[in-house]
Amino acid sequence: MIEAGGLVKSYGDLQVLRGVDLRVERGEIACVVGPNGAGKTTLLRILALLEWPDRGVVTYDGVQATRDNAASLRARIAYVPQRGHVLSLSVRNNVLFALLARGIPAEEASLRADEALRAVGLYGLRDKHAPALSGGQKQLLALARAFALQPEYLLLDEPTASLDPENAGRARKLLREYVRARRAAAVVVSHSMSEVRELADKTIVLVNGRVVAAYAGAPDDAALSRLFA
C-alpha cells in the first residue's frame, strides 16, 4: 500500500502541495488528475523519493520513507517520468542495464528484457540506439523498462501521452493486468479522460496543490468533462 499524509511542498514562495493525502491499496490503480501546475508531477516525484516534502510523510506498506531507507524502497518502485526518458544505450540495454542495476542476475535480466520488449512491441528495434527512437517509442521503452523491473509500486506520469490509440490501449491493458496479477499499487498522473475511465480504481483531483475531490473508480462522464474542460 502506498500512503501519503499531509504532503506540503514549496519552491521558494510558490507552494506546490498544500497538505495532500493519498492512499492506494495493493492491486489498485489511482489516477491523479488536475489542471497544469496543480502539483501532480511534484506529488509523483515525492512518491518516487526523488524529492522530499517540507512536511508530511510517505509510507510504503507501513514503512515510512526516509533519506536513509530511500535506496532500498526505490528498489521496489518503478517510476516513469513524463516523455519517457531513455538512456544513451541500445533499446535492449536500456531495459537490461536497469535490471542489472537492480541486482537481477544476468541470465534472468536478459530473459525479462526480451519479454518486456516483446510485450510493448519494441523487440524488433532492440539493437537500435534508444535516443534515436520517436517520442512514442521512447515512452513504450520506458514502460517496458518499468514492467521488466517487476516493481511492487508503479508511479507513472502521463504514461500514454505520446502514444497512438493502439499502443496507448496496449499499454493500459498491460498496466491493468500487471497490477492485478502482481497485486502491485500504481499511481498514474493523467490528462486523458479515456485513460482515467479505463484504469482508475480511484481518482483524486488536484487543484492548486490541494485534493479538491476524490472518487471511487473514475468520475462519471459529466464530472470528467468538467475536469478535462
Partner 1 sequence: MDAAELLLITGLTLRVSLTAVALSSALGIPAGILIATGQRRRKALTLAVNTAMGTPPVLLGLVLYLLLSRRGPLGFLGLLFTPEGMILSQFLLTLPITTGLTISAIESLPRETRELIESLATRPAFKMLLLANEAKLQLLAASLTALARAVSEVGSVIIVGGNIRYYTRVLTTAIVYHTNAGEFEAALWLGAVLALVYLSLNAVVLAVRTAVMRE
* 204 Rama class: left (phi>0) / alpha (psi -120 to 50) / beta: beta
CA atoms within 13 A on the CB side of 11: 6
List binders of partner 1 among 155-184 (CB under 8 A): none
101 binds partner 1 (CB under 8 A): yes
Cα–Cα distance, 124 to 109 (Å, whole number): 18
Site string for partner 1, 190-219 (x = CB under 8 A): ------------------------------
Site string for partner 1, 121-150 (x = CB under 8 A): --------x---------------x---x-
105 binds partner 1 (CB under 8 A): no
List binders of partner 1 among 56-95 (CB under 8 A): 67, 71-72, 74-75, 77-79, 81, 83, 85, 87-89
Kindly determine how many residues on this chain lie close enough to bind partner 1 according to the rule CB under 8 A.
Answer: 26
Q: Which long-range contacts (CB under 8 A, 24 or more apart) does 61-64 make?
A: 61/1, 61/152, 62/1
Q: Which residues contact 8 (CB under 8 A, 6 or more apart)?
A: 15, 17, 18, 19, 53, 54, 55, 56
CB 170 within 8 A of CB 139: no
Q: Which residue, 89 or 213, is less far from partner 1 as judged by CB?
A: 89
The contact set with partner 1 (CB under 8 A) reads 45, 48, 50, 67, 71-72, 74-75, 77-79, 81, 83, 85, 87-89, 97-98, 100-103, 129, 145, 149
